[in-house]
C-alpha cells in the first residue's frame, strides 16, 4: 500500500529548510506572545528575557516552561492573545481535579488544525474515497472535532457516531460500509468484542484503517486491534493544550509518529534535569509556532518519547517521535520500582488465553505496596481443569516479573466483567492514598 502526501512542501522539505522555517516562526511567535499575552510578558520579564534575545532555535532553552497549572491558573481566558470576537471555538480538557483547562481557537487556528489533521490522516492511507466513523465522544474534548475537521478537509465522508451505544456503533459500521474507524484504542477493542459477541464475521465489514488515539497504547495493543478488526491500526498523538490531536501521527509504515514540525516545535529533555538530550527517551516539550488564539511556549507535556530525524521510507522528512513510553504522571512507583502501565500492557496483549482488557490495582498491605493485575479469561479450553487456569496465572506472573522485576498478583476474572470505557480508559486504580486516610 501507499499513501498520498497531503502537503508535499511542508512534509518533504530538507532538514535545513525546516530549521530555517522553524527559526523564523519561533522568533515571530515569541514576539507575538510577549506583546499580546500578559502571562508571557510577565514570565519573560521575571527572568529578564527580551524577545530579541531569541535569534536562533537553540535560544529556545532560555524561555521559561509553561505547565498545565499555568492554564488552570489563568482559567478561562487569561492566556488568550486575541479579543474574544476573534475566537471561534473553545475546547476544554477533562480536569481531574477542580477546573478544566480551557483552550481557544481563531478561524486561522481551526484551519491550521484541520490541515495538520488532514496530513496525518492521509499518511495512514485514508483517501477521499473512504467513509469514516468517529467514535470519540463529541463535546469539549478536542479529539472528535479535530479528527472530524481533518477528515472533511481530506474529503472523507464522516459518520459522527460519537461514543456509546456500542451495539449501534457496530450496526453503523456494518450497514454504512464504514472503511475507517476513529476511537480510543480501548474503545476500538470493545467494538471488536461487540462484533464477536453479536456473532458477525469480519467479512460483513469493509473496515481497513483505524486511527486510535487520545490514550497511550503499546504496539501489542495495536496488533490485537489489527487482528480483531482486520485493519491497519495506527496511533496518533496530540494534546488540547497545544492543539488537540494533530501534533503527530503514524504513517502507514508505522515507524514513529510524524510531527507537524512546521507548526509544533519539539524538544526532548532529560526528565529530571530538564537539559536537552538526543537519541534517548525524555520528556517532550512543545512550542506552538503558528497559533494565534492561544500561543503556548515550551509546554511540558509530561509524555516520554524520543525523536528520530532520519527521512522516512514513506517520503516524509518530518521528525518522528517514538510511541509514548508513558507519561511521567502515569508512572507508578511500587516498592521503589518504576512501573509504567504500558509495560504491563505489552506483557498481556500477546497472551492468547486472555482478552484485550485489563486493570491494574495497587494497594498497600501493611508497609508493602502490592500490585494486582486483573485479566479476563477468554480461552474456553482453560476450563478443562484447574491446573490449566493455575498455569496461566503462573505464566502471566512470570512474564510480568521478567519485565517489571516485581511480583504481581494475577487475578483471572470473567469476560466482560472489567469496566469498558467509551472515552479515555482508566486502567490503574491506586488505592494506596486511600489507605493512608
Partner 1 sequence: MLVNQIAVFLENRKGRMAALSDALSKEKINLIELFIADTTEFGIVRMITDDNPRALKVLKENGFTVTSNNLIGVEVADVPGGLASILSAFDENGIDIEYLYSFSRKEAGKAFILVKVADNDAALKALAKYNVKPLGKF
The binding site for partner 1 (CB under 8 A) comprises 197, 377-378, 380-386, 389, 411-417
Which residues in 278-314 are b (16+ Cβ under 10 Å) and which e?
eeebbbbbbbbbbbbbbbbbbbbbbbbbbbeeeebeb
**Minimum CB–partner distance for residue 416 and partner 1 (Å):** 5
- CB neighbourhood size of 92 (10 A): 18
Q: What sign has the CA pseudo-torsion 155, 159, 163, 166? A: negative
368 contacts 244 by C-beta, under 8 angstroms: no
CB-CB contact of 22 with 283 (8 Å): no
Residues 368 and 361: beta-carbon distance below 8 Å: no
118 vs 360, beta carbon nearer partner 1: 360
Q: How many CB atoms lie within 10 A of CB 198?
A: 13
**97 or 381, CB closer to partner 1?**
381
For partner 1, the closer CB: 207 or 408: 408
Under 8 Å between Cβ of 158 and 148: yes
Q: Which is nearer to partner 1, 48 or 387 (CB)?
A: 387
List the grid coordinates of 208. 481497513
Which residue, 9 or 417, has its beta carbon nearer to partner 1?
417
**Cell numbers describing residue 107:** 478561524
Grid coordinates belonging to 414 = 470473567
Q: How far is the CB of 397 from partner 1 (least distance, A)?
A: 14
Smallest distance from partner 1 to CB 414, Å? 5
- Report which of 279, 253, 258 is spatially closest to residue 268, judged by C-alpha positions: 279
Question: At its nearest, how many Å lie between partner 1 and the CB of residue 386?
Answer: 7
| Helical ranges in 246-385 per DSSP H | 341-348
How much is the CA Rg of the chain, to the nearest whole Å?
22
Tell me the closest approach of the beta carbon of residue 193 to partner 1, in angstroms: 10
Nearest to 3 by CA among 301, 27, 11: 11
- Nearer to partner 1 by Cβ, of 212 and 358: the residue is 358
Residues 341 and 360: beta-carbon distance below 8 Å = yes
Give every CB contact of residue 330 below 8 A, 6+ residues apart in sequence: 216, 340, 341, 428
Nearest approach in angstroms of CB 435 to partner 1 is: 21
Helix (H, G, I), strand (E, B) or coil at 39: helix
Please choose, from the candidates 153, 149, 158, the residue with its C-alpha nearest in 3D space to the C-alpha of residue 181: 158
Minimum CB distance to partner 1 smaller for 202 or for 412: 412
Residue 143 CB: number of other CB atoms within 10 A? 27
How far apart are alpha carbons 75 and 90 in whole angstroms? 12
Nearer to partner 1, 83 or 199 (CB): 199
Neighbours of 363 (CB within 10 A): 16
Q: What is the largest distance, in Å, between two alpha-carbon atoms of the chain?
A: 74
How far is CA 374 from its chain centroid?
24
Distance CA 271, CA 317 (A): 27
Residue closer to partner 1, measured from CB, 140 or 378 = 378
Q: Which is nearer to partner 1, 191 or 232 (CB)?
A: 191
Closest to partner 1 by CB, 278 or 384: 384
Amino acid at each position: 500500500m501507499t499513501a498520498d502526501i497531503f502537503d508535499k512542501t511542508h512534509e518533504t522539505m530538507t532538514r535545513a529548510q525546516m530549521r530555517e522555517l522553524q527559526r523564523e516562526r519561533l522568533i515571530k511567535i515569541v514576539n507575538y506572545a510577549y506583546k499580546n499575552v500578559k502571562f508571557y510578558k510577565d514570565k519573560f520579564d521575571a527572568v529578564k528575557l527580551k524577545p530579541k534575545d531569541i535569534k536562533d532555535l537553540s535560544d529556545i532553552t532560555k524561555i521559561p516552561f509553561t505547565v498545565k497549572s499555568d492554564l488552570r491558573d489563568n482559567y478561562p481566558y487569561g492566556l488568550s492573545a486575541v479579543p474574544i470576537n476573534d475566537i471561534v471555538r473553545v475546547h476544554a480538557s477533562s480536569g481531574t481535579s477542580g477546573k478544566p483547562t480551557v483552550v481557544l481557537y481563531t478561524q486561522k487556528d481551526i484551519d491550521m488544525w484541520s490541515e495538520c489533521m488532514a496530513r496525518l490522516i492521509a499518511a495512514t492511507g485514508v483517501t477521499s474515497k473512504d467513509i469514516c466513523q468517529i467514535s470519540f465522544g463529541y463535546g469539549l474534548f478536542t479529539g472528535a472535532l479535530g479528527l472530524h475537521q481533518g477528515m472533511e478537509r481530506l474529503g472523507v465522508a464522516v459518520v459522527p457516531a460519537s461514543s456509546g451505544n456500542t451495539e449501534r456503533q457496530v450496526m453503523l459500521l456494518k450497514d454504512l460500509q464504514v472503511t475507517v474507524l476513529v476511537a480510543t484504542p480501548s474503545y476500538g477493542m470493545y467494538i471488536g468484542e461487540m462484533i464477536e459477541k453479536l456473532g458477525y464475521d469480519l467479512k460483513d465489514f469493509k473496515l481497513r484503517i483505524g486511527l486510535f488515539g487520545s490514550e497511550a497504547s503499546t504496539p501489542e495493543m495495536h496488533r490485537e486491534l489489527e487482528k480483531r478488526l482486520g485493519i491497519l491500526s495506527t496511533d496518533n498523538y496530540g494534546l488540547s493544550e497545544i492543539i488537540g490531536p494533530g501534533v503527530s501521527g503514524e504513517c502507514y509504515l508505522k515507524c514513529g509518529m510524524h510531527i507537524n514540525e512546521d507548526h509544533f516545535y519539539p524538544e526532548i529533555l532529560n526528565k529530571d534535569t530538564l537539559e536537552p538530550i538526543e537519541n534517548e527517551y525524555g520528556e517532550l516539550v512543545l512550542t506552538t509556532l503558528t497559533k494565534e488564539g492561544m500561543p503556548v511556549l515550551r509546554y511540558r507535556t509530561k509524555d516520554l518519547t524520543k525523536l528520530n530525524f532520519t527521512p522516512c521510507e514513506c517520503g516524509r522528512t518530518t521528525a518522528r517521535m517514538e510511541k509514548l513510553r508513558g507519561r511521567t504522571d502515569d508512572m507508578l512507583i511500587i516498592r521503589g520500582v518504576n512501573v509504567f502501565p504500558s509495560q504491563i500492557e505489552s506483557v498481556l496483549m500477546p497472551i492468547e488465553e486472555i482478552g484485550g482488557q485489563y486493570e491494574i490495582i495497587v494497594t498497600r498491605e501493611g508497609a508493602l505496596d502490592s500490585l494486582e493485575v486483573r485479566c479476563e479469561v477468554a480461552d474456553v479450553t482453560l476450563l478443562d481443569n484447574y491446573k490449566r487456569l493455575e498455569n496461566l496465572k503462573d505464566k502471566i506472573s512470570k512474564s510480568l516479573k521478567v519485565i517489571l522485576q516485581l511480583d504481581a498478583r494475577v487475578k483471572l476474572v470473567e469476560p466482560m466483567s472489567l469496566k469498558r470505557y467509551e472515552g479515555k480508559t482508566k486502567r490503574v486504580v491506586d488505592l494506596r492514598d486511600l489507605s493512608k486516610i
